[in-house]
Amino acid sequence: MRFSDAKANAESNNISNVEFFVGDMKNVFNTNFISQHGKPDVIITDPPRDGMHKDVVQKILDIAPSRIVYVSCNSATQARDLELMKESYKVVKVQPVDMFPQTHHVENVVLLKKKK
């Protein structure tokens, strides 16, 4: 999904309390961004096949949103990243999605909630 598609989808569903930002999370979520926009309640991440860089995982842990939605096309790198977050977050739900039924590829969506 492109940035413009996300905005159009929000508008067509009468959702006005959302903002979209696109870019490498370790660069987007800097001190200036946080001071200007505040800390997000939810982070949705869909990293490349290699998973999230450890600096990105640490940045998410520093921001500490109440929920994280982690979409992945590689369950092995997703499991590696979830292991790095297990002290602060618990896995609430896992949903595999077969978007490419003629192949062995499966997208995996994980909902994480901050531990109290």
Closest to 108 measured CA to CA, from 23, 45, 43? 45
95 has pLDDT over 70? yes
As assigned by CATH, the class of the 3-114 domain is: alpha beta
**pLDDT on residue 96:** 95
So what's the pLDDT on residue 1? 55
Residue from 56, 57, 73, 110 carrying the catalytic annotation? 73
Residue 73 a catalytic site member:
yes
Q: Where are the domains of the chain?
A: 3-114
Average pLDDT, the chain: 92
Residue 5, helix vs strand vs coil: helix
Three-class HEC string of 8-54? HHHHHCCCCCCCCCCCCHHHHCCHHHHHHHCCCCEEEECCCCCCCCH
pLDDT in tens, 28-67: 888 899 899 888 899 999 999 999 999 899 999 999 999 9
The helices-and-strands tally (H runs, E runs) of the chain is 5, 4
Amino acid at 111: L
Residue 92: both structure tokens together: 């609430």
- Global confidence as pTM: 0.83
Q: What average pLDDT score do residues 78-106 get?
A: 94
Quick one: what percent of the chain has pLDDT higher than 70? 99
